[in-house]
Structure 1
Amino acid sequence: MEQLPSELVPLSMLQHGSSQQELFNLSLDNIRRALFGFKNDDAGDGSDAGDSHGNGNDEVGDDVVEIDESLLIDSSEVWVGRMIGEGRHSFVYEGLYDSKSVAVKIIRPYGESMTYQDYKERFKREVMLLSRATHQNIVKFVGASVQPLMMIVTELMRDGNLQKHLSSIRPQVLDLKLSIGFALDIAGAMEYLHANNIIHRDLKPSNLLLTEDKKHLKLADFGLAREEVTAEMTGEMGTYRWMAPELYSIEPCPRGTRRHYDHKADVFSFSLILWELLTNETPFHGRTTILAAYDACRNIRPSLESIPQEIVPLLESCWAQDPRLRPEFTEVTGFLLGVLDKLASKAEAEAAAEAEAEEEAEAEAKAEAELAKEAAEDKGPEDNEQVMIVAKPKEGHKRKKSSFLPSVRGCFYYACTCKAAK
């Protein structure tokens, strides 16, 4: 491994990646100091970040997040490069660990929006849930670290997220089969999570990452995921535009108030993503995120005008106002597979009809050719002579003497001589 540079990298360089080589040679300790101004001998548990955000560090002390040791990795072996993502709660960098490309998610220091205890529990919960989620459509967990920074390392998905991909091809719409394939990937991941009593709560296009061939999706970001242990949970929630109405109240709700919701909140979010896959339009386009959530509470939904008729019933059931009327993801998967089967049968029928039409056209052309051949063979000598046409000389045009005339005269003289001799 190359020697670490002694110079600190400013935050602007980390954010904009002006020197990828320097960034790639950064250790997490350098990032820690560059991002938050920590010193080498800091505790590394977020306490100093509390001071910078006005929370103080009296309540923190030497408290450290407790994570199962089997899930921890040595942060000194993690190297980072350019920033590839940024959210409310974290920065994400491209990096290397154990000679493999990885994504390094560094958790932001906690601020006034939550207590340090909530901050720790959130990180601990994300590590625990992601490490348990082993499914082909969920990003693979590599490891976590609590010092010098809270970070989560996962497999690297180089081809970006669904939101950016759809935006890059707009106004073009995805192929219908590909859209349904993406929807099946999402449904498969969610079916797995719900079977393990995990609610994602932040299902949206930016949390769905594309595989290298851009034919499949993997679910990421378990920062808001929760275990479904009770019928009432805190109102901490995901992004308004894709959020289920039961997670959002039109009336102001005191902090910490518990709401009635369950895993069906994820089904509602899925319905808006499916609609987006089919139309390549943003749900509630032109509305702010808050107004979009307000519309959802009033049972206003995106237009179904351009949606294939066979998929309309699924959307209507998935975004039902009453969560109890929404299907389970097992039912969603079955419905989508049925649509794919119908599309395949329709394509086969169309292909068969086209092949049959081509065969009929070939047979007809062959029959016409045979008839023409038979007609040509049936013509007699007289028919053949009638076919010969002698062009009439133009007026005033002197006809050339034919080379065969002397022969004709000779034959005529010979014939006359023979007749006289008789």
Structure 2
Amino acid sequence: MMRKRSASTATYLGRTLEYDPNPYDIPVTCYLERPSGQRKKKLNQYLREERVGKGRHGEVYLSHDTLHEHRAVAIKVVKRSNPKDKIKLLRRNYQQTDGSTKQALNSTENSVRREVAVMKQCRHPNLAQLFEVIDDPREDKIYIIMEYIPGGPVEWTHGEDHLPLLTLAQTRRIMRDVIVGLEYMHAKGIVHRDIKPSNLVYTANRSCVKLIDFGISHIMLPPAPKKEKDDPVDPELRALFPVTDLTRRIGTPSFLAPEVVWFHDDSDNTSTVSPCDSPPGGSRSASSANVSTTFPIPKVRPPITPAIDVWSLGVTFFCLLFGHTPFNPSSDNDNVHHNEFMLYHLICTQDWLPDDYMGADRLWTGGRHPQDQSSEAYAVLHLLDEMLQKAPKDRIPLSQVKRNPFILQDVLDPKEWLRYTTPLAASPENLSGFIKSAARKFVNVLSPKTKGSGS
């Protein structure tokens, strides 16, 4: 029987986010057994096999759980620290005057603990699931046992040609899966912060896409009460997710929102920048409807909210449609820092421009602002426009993205699908039942043509 879960809420830009102080019961094992002769092969009940991935802080191995019918799992192996952590700690200790030797907040071990804390809050059919954490203090590594998702990341472009690989129907199905998973995270008060195609992974039969990699995700905790004893949030969790962490430029540069890459502009704030380079293999429209516009940089940084994920999802949507990112600074300069700054300048000030055609099915776009409101291109580009608004307050929320005609196309019963994919439709006490029923309903309310995300 599931225990009652009391939640706290916080409001950001008029949107209510829910923080649940009682995460799902994920076992944390404090011992590690490696039988002699199998030290590299067996970790407790898990048989480790080949490496299937490498992340920011560790390697991921395919393994099998001998206590659960040899089900396939993914084990992420992370070292507690690396040489950079030691430098950061020495610098911090030198700067401290109170004698404290606490680890720097961006140390490898704390990054792992943040990822685990986020995954403990999440249980959804479109999010990678956490099963167990092996954290033996005698070991120099932490082992995170997660759901194994064998279909591989979403492939979206033809290599050097930079042409779209996916049809519009495939893109629509992928977007639907990501939207409902991300909307669930936002309802729980969690910002993913690294939405991009490589973090979208197919299940075995490509019937579903799941969102992975919560390494830089952030739990937006409710404000601390005046009395510490009245705080429903664990003090260690507050230390892991300080509000100031949101202003850091972490993530994948091309997918960062304008408010994340914001910088103070000392000019008259009306400066212009050359349009983005034409993408390799891409075809920018030469029509007058595709004239680029520029935007001023705000004098004050806009607030960092879950809207940063909507921007990143919009960039991802653009990639799936056109086979390249929307902002591409000139590559003439070999200075990495200069190119990154130019990219940030484009993100903050430059409008995006579509190609002449979108999708592998080569649908004519009709320019930046297509005139035919009944066309599919109009619905797609209008949605992109709403997702890629420079000001976060003007950006469309996910609850409205999922109601866009393009997203709902091919859904047999849109009202039923919207009801069963809305995270707040079920009370926290019934969340487990909601997840099971939703997993079935996701398929049942789609027409037969849309039951596969990959083909």
Under a length normalisation based on structure 1, what TM-score does the superposition of the two structures give?
Answer: 0.58
CA distance in 1, matches of 2:162, 2:349: 29
Q: 1:103 aligns with which of 56, 74, 84?
A: 74
More displaced 10-residue stretch of structure 1: 89-98 or 284-293: 284-293
What is residue 84 of structure 1 aligned with on the other side?
52
5 Å matches for 1:59-70?
A: 70=27
The answer as to whether partners of 1:311 and 1:339 remain within 8 angstroms in 2 is no
Separation (CA, whole Å) in 2 of partners of 1:305 and 1:228: 40
Quote how far apart the aligned CAs of 1:110 are. 3.4
1:275 aligns with one of 271, 295, 318: 318
- Contact 1:178 1:215 (8 Å CA) reproduced: no
Distance 1:159 1:175 in 2: 18
The answer as to whether partners of 1:71 and 1:131 remain within 8 angstroms in 2 is no
Structure 2 Cα separation of the partners of residues 165 and 337 of structure 1: 19
Cα-Cα RMSD: 3.2
| 1:333 and 2:395 aligned | no
Q: Is the 8 A contact 2:135 2:142 kept in 1?
A: yes
How far has the Cα of 1:71 moved from its partner? 3.7
Who wins on radius of gyration, i.e. which is larger? 1
Task: Tell me: higher relative CO, structure 1 or 2? Use CA pairs within 8 A at least 6 residues apart.
Answer: 2
Equivalent pair of 1:314/1:332 in contact (CA under 8 Å): yes
Matched, 1:309 2:298: no
1:96 maps to a residue whose letter is H
Q: State whether structure 2 residue 121 is matched by structure 1 residue 121.
A: no
Distance in structure 1 (CA, Å) of the matches to 2:393 and 2:55: 32
Partner in structure 2 of residue 28 of structure 1: none
- 1:330 CA drift (Å): 0.9
Rounded Cα–Cα distance in structure 1 between residues aligned with 2:175 and 2:54: 25
Deviation at 1:111, TM superposition (A): 3.8
- Which of 259, 270, 274 lines up with 1:246 in the alignment? 259
Report the more deviating stretch, 287-296 or 307-316. 287-296
Question: Paired residue for 2:193?
Answer: 201
Tell me if the contact between 1:139 and 1:218 (Cα under 8 Å) persists in the aligned partners.
yes
**Is residue 69 of structure 2 the alignment partner of residue 112 of structure 1?**
no
In structure 2, distance between residues paired with 1:259 and 1:323 = 7
Native 8 Å contact 1:138 1:218 kept in 2: yes
The 1:279–1:102 alpha-carbon spacing in structure 2 relative to 1, beyond 3 Å, is: same
- What's the TM-score once normalised by structure 2's chain length? 0.54
Over 3 Å counting, the alpha-carbon distance change for 1:340 and 1:127 in structure 2 is same
CA distance in 2, matches of 1:137, 1:104: 19
Distance 1:287 1:227, change over 3 A: farther
Name stretches of at least 5 consecutive residues in structure 2 with no aligned partner. 1-23, 33-42, 90-102, 224-242, 266-300, 332-338, 358-364, 366-376, 415-455
Structure having the larger proportion of residues in helix: 1
Identity level (%): 23
The 3-state SS of whatever aligns with 1:334 is coil
Once the two structures are TM-superposed, the CA of residue 165 in structure 1 deviates from its matched residue by 5.5
Structure 2 contact 380–406 (Cα < 8 Å) conserved? no
Residues 354-393 of structure 1, C-alpha deviation per residue, up to 9 Å, x if partnerless? Answer: xxxxxxxxxxxxxxxxxxxxxxxxxxxxxxxxxxxxxxxx
Equivalent residue of 1:122, what SS? helix
* TM superposition shift of 1:212: 1.7
SS in 1 for 2:262: coil
The change in CA–CA distance for 1:338 and 1:158 in structure 2 (over 3 A counts) is closer
Amino acid at match of 2:191: I
Supply the distance in 2 between the matched residues of 1:249 and 1:82 (Cα, whole angstroms): 42
Residue type matched to 1:310 in 2? A
Q: Deviations over 1:14-39 (max 9, x none)?
A: xxxxxxxxxxxxxxxxxxxxxxxxxx
